[in-house]
């Protein structure tokens, strides 16, 4: 009898967390390069007593547990911006970003130039090229980023392209292990081994929008709220029947 409440509670707790995940997806529907999250659940079987020579063996109760939030790495819609410093990644690669906490990875290709002439993300972290941060000179203009990441500029009066660097694009064997850090950044665990991506391409003048699908998220939200309400009703009716039982049993006939 007591287990019913606990099992229901385990589900309600995971549903609340699933709601948090849905809320975060929806909040980031306009975040450049954002990847939606999906929650996975698993069954958790309660441990039983080691001695099983009781009359009527210990039965296992199954609870629910949130196992993981999967990153949905599907590509987001690509929007033309005509901004020469916007790049959208076509493929499963990430840009490498230098932060004070170490190298981080991002799909957010809305780039800027800072006062030192470095190519930076919108939070001001340098984007890494093959030889570290990509630096422009004061006289550079007409920045061109080719599909393989090569950054060329026209320099001063010189009408010939000079190569500044090549934007690094890396990919991971198991991208699910990347950890979201906020600020559109991912960090990779110690075991992760970023590989230079050869298949991914950069598209200059485009940005990748968030891949959050509003229909999916709304449907999931309805599902979550209905399941939660159902459980509440169930727990409530359980409480009611317990009360009825107590009232009836305690009702001493006169």
Partner 1 sequence: MRALYTAATGMAAQELNVQVISNNIANMRTTGYKKQRAAFQDLIYDHVRRVGAQASDQGTMIPVGVDIGGGVKTVGTPRLMGQGTLSITGNDLDVAIRGEGFFKIQMTDGTFTYTRDGSFSTDSQGRIVNAQGNLLQPTITIPTASSQLSINSAGQVSVIVPGTTTPTVLGTINLTRFINKAGLNPIGDNLFTETPASGPPQDGIANADGFGDMQQRNLEQANVEVVTEISDLIAAQRAYEMNAKVISAADQMLQSTSGMFR
Question: Among all chains, which residue has been given the structure tokens 């809305």?
Answer: 110
As measured in angstroms, the least distance from the Cβ of 85 to partner 1 is: 8
Q: Dmax over Cα atoms in the chain, in whole Å?
A: 109
Please report, for residues 24, 34, 43, 46, the alpha-carbon distance to residue 10 in angstroms, rounded to integers and kept in the order given: 22, 30, 10, 12
As measured in angstroms, the least distance from the Cβ of 98 to partner 1 is: 17
As measured in angstroms, the least distance from the Cβ of 230 to partner 1 is: 9
Cα dihedral sign for 232, 234, 19, 43?
Answer: positive
As measured in angstroms, the least distance from the Cβ of 58 to partner 1 is: 22
Nearer to partner 1, 17 or 201 (CB): 17
As measured in angstroms, the least distance from the Cβ of 48 to partner 1 is: 18
Question: Among all chains, which residue has been given the structure tokens 């939606």?
Answer: 36
As measured in angstroms, the least distance from the Cβ of 117 to partner 1 is: 5
Nearer to partner 1, 22 or 95 (CB): 22
Cα–Cα distance between 237 and 61 in angstroms, integer? 20
Cα–Cα distance between 225 and 43 in angstroms, integer? 21
For 11, half-sphere exposure in the C-beta direction (CA atoms, 13 angstrom radius) is 18
As measured in angstroms, the least distance from the Cβ of 120 to partner 1 is: 9
DSSP string, 74-123: PPPPEEE---TTBEEEESS-EEEEEETTEEEEE---B-EE-TTSBEE-TT
Please report, for residues 53, 60, 71, the alpha-carbon distance to residue 49 in angstroms, rounded to integers and kept in the order given: 10, 10, 38
Three-class secondary structure of residue 35 per DSSP: coil
Element (H, E) at 9: helix 2-27
Q: How many other CB atoms sit within 10 Å of the CB of residue 156? A: 12
Nearer to partner 1, 199 or 214 (CB): 214
Nearer to partner 1, 131 or 214 (CB): 214
Nearer to partner 1, 9 or 61 (CB): 9
Nearer to partner 1, 27 or 74 (CB): 27
Cα–Cα distance between 25 and 34 in angstroms, integer? 9
Nearer to partner 1, 19 or 78 (CB): 19
């Amino acid at each position: 009898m007591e287990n019913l409440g606990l099992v229901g509670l385990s589900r309600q707790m995971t549903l609340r967390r699933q709601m948090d995940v849905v809320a975060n997806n929806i909040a980031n529907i306009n975040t450049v390069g954002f990847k939606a999250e999906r929650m996975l659940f698993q069954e958790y079987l309660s441990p039983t007593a080691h001695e099983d020579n009781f009359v009527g063996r210990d039965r296992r109760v199954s609870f629910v547990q949130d196992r993981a939030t999967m990153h949905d790495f599907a590509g987001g819609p690509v929007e033309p911006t005509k901004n020469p410093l916007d790049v959208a990644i076509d493929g499963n690669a990430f840009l490498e970003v230098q932060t004070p906490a170490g190298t981080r990875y991002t799909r957010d290709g809305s780039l800027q130039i800072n006062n030192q002439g470095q190519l930076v993300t919108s939070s001001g972290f340098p984007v890494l090229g093959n030889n570290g941060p990509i630096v422009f000179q004061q006289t550079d203009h007409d920045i061109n980023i080719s599909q393989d990441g090569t950054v060329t500029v026209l320099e001063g009066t010189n009408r010939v392209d000079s190569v500044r660097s090549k934007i690094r694009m890396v990919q991971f064997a198991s991208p699910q292990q990347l950890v979201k850090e906020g600020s559109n950044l991912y960090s990779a665990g110690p075991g992760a081994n970023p590989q230079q991506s050869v298949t991914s391409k950069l598209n200059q003048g485009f940005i990748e929008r968030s891949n959050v699908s509003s229909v999916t998220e709304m449907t999931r939200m309805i599902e979550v709220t209905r399941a939660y309400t159902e459980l509440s009703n169930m727990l409530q009716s359980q409480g009611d029947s317990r009360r009825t039982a107590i009232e009836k049993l305690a009702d001493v006939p006169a």
